[in-house]
Amino acid sequence: MNLQQAYYESKFENVFLRAKGNAFQDLFEKIMGLAYKADFMACRPWGNRGDHKNDGFRGSFRSMHPMK
pLDDT digits (tens, 9 = 90+) for 18-27: 999 889 888 9
pLDDT for 52:
65
pLDDT tops 90 at residue 57: no
pLDDT for 67:
46
pLDDT for 13:
97
- Indicate the pLDDT class of residue 43, thresholds 50, 70 and 90: confident
Do 57 and 33 meet the contact criterion of CB atoms below 8 Å apart? Answer: no
pLDDT for 18:
96
**Quick one: how far is CA 48 from the chain centroid?**
22
Helix (H, G, I), strand (E, B) or coil at 67: coil
65: DSSP letter: S
Domain boundaries, the chain: 3-64
Give me the helix-helix angle, 3-18 and 22-36, nearest 10°: 130
